[in-house]
Homo-oligomer: A and B are copies of this chain.
Amino acid sequence: MNLKIAIAQINPIVGDIEGNSDKILSYILKAKKENCDLVIFPELSLIGYPPRDLLFRREIVKKIDEILCRKILPESKDMGILLGAPLYKDEKIYNSALLFYQGKLFGYQHKTLLPSYDVFDEERYFKPAEYCHPIIFKGINLGITICEDIWNDKDYWNRAIYEKDPLEELISQGAEVILNISASPYYYGKIRLRGDMLCYLARKYKRPIIYVNEVGGNDELIFDGSSLVITENGKIAWKGKSFKEDLGIIDLSNLLSIEDINSIKEDIESIYEALILGIRDYFSKLGFKKAVIGLSGGIDSSVVACLATFALGSKNVLGVSMPSRYSSEGSVKDAEILAKNLGIEFRVIPIEKIFKAYLETFNPDGNPLMDLAEENIQARIRGSILMFISNREGYLVLATGNKSELAVGYCTLYGDMVGGLAVIGDIPKMTVYELARFINREREIIPQSILTKVPSAELRPNQRDEDSLPPYPILDEILKAYIEDNLSIDEILEGGFERNLVEGVIKKIDSSEYKRRQAPPTLKVSTKAFGMGRKMPIAWKRGF
């Protein structure tokens, strides 16, 4: 199979058909320089994934036609261009792979399997392909698939999720090589899982596989890239960068195995890189440069400040310490050391004066109750201060709550929950510590005292998280069992927990849905994040 192929692992901006086509064009030119026969772009890369209800905007239909005719077709005279784009036909929309060659639309394949689970809702938008068939390009039988189309192997998964198996159909029709264009969002473990599955499929069908994935952060979702070329023996012949754009050039007639699937490692660094990409792209795609973070001197805001600094640069990050009468002395000092270690601007804005004004307004007799209302008002003052800075100086506020807090509602709506993006909202507390240790791997950026201090919201004297919550190692286990693994209470109890404890935690999770509904978008790095992938009612009752 004599075919030189360019793999264009690009980072498109959702909706930016004009801008994305320029980027696509630049990769086409790079592929031409390398004398490639074919260049391959990810799923829906012309419009970015997920385009959501933008797909229903009528203007898009014309714009796509215009762009394809003006920019893409003329480049396809001597080289094939395989591009993911929505195809509008007879009031239907298809998620398509369009192959341009000889200056025309040479062939196409619509997506057959449309995922509608977790964060996916493709049946909202697309009709499935009615059939799939290989396309003969330069004498080679190409089996073209789109993302989900290859995720239904009944042997690999021990069961078929969908009735059809497009891969099987294409092979049975003589496909000699499998191409897959994807927009496959990241969660921890997916790079490894995906690689393992692709190697399995290559071995099973004795066909090489070329897998081209989108990269970039789009709101909650982070696409990791990590494109792969697999030999027909199930070995890796080329591996795209993770969390970065990349261009691979491979020769199908000479696919050399460079490594084994076991070389693909995923660890805390993957989550770290994912979050940095998620922050960076959220800012750049929204047109923001600067982030402001409330630094409490605790582990969560410290980790967020580090991630923001690595994503945006130290001169674009502002840390604000907002001590109250209940803040420990260490809180401001630790935050200041962290800011210094990061080289970011640091301000101290005590909230006492404002807090006092609230207390006087609400307790005219001069006797504060120190109830939940007065605890929360401190968090809300801090939220308002950050938003003030945002409004006046053009910073985007980063929320610093972790997944454990968000899960049980141990956070203040309109208080510590404010922000444009919840950076670690999908990271359980114990993993936040892991991230902190990873950040400190070479030198102490986050002061050791922050890593060792007892977690506290510092909203009343001597408050500790464990006054209200189980110890985090236990809490995190229960949360994973309930939220990610979707276990029933009885199944969770098999882990050896006390029934009261588990039921208490689950009650907290269920009843704080109203808070999460108003949380900022949360970067997803687990199999089940709060937000678009977990759709729960607010006003409901557990009658089961």
A residues lining the B interface (CB < 8 Å): 13-20, 48, 50-54, 56-60, 63-64, 91, 116-117, 121, 123-124, 159, 217-219, 281-282, 285-286, 349, 353-354, 356-358, 360-362, 369, 371-374, 376-377, 380-381, 383-385, 387-389, 391-392, 413-414, 418, 420, 486-491, 514, 517-521, 534-544
Contacts and interface: CB of A to CB of B under 8 A. Distances in A.
Nearest to A126: B116
B544 A57 contact: yes
A537 B52 contact: yes
Contact of A116 (B124, B362, B413): B124
Nearest to A528: B53
Contacts of A535: 52-53, 121, 124
A91 B157 CA distance: 14
A356 B19 CA distance: 47
A353 B362 contact: no
Nearest to A288: B539
Copies in the complex: 2
Among A377, A491, A540, the one with the most B-chain Cβ atoms within 10 Å of its Cβ is A540
A358 B57 contact: no
B369 A17 contact: no
B540 A13 contact: yes
B124 A358 contact: no
A15 B517 contact: no
B376 A388 contact: yes
A19 B541 contact: yes
Most B C-beta atoms less than 10 A away, residue of A373, A385, A418: A373
Contacts of A57: 486, 488, 544
A338 B399 CA distance: 39
Contacts of A520: 517-518
A518 to B, nearest CB: 5
B371 A391 contact: yes
Contacts of A281: 539
> Which of A117, A354, A514 has the most C-beta atoms of chain B within 10 angstroms of its own C-beta?
A354
A537 B360 contact: no
A64 B544 CA distance: 8
A515 to B, nearest CB: 10
**Among the interface residues A51, A159, A418, A544, which one has the most CB atoms of the partner chain B within 10 A?**
A544
A51 B538 CA distance: 10
Contact of A539 (B286, B357, B374, B541): B286
Contacts of A16: 540-543
Contacts of A20: 543
Contact of A362 (B59, B218, B371, B388): B388
Nearest to A114: B123
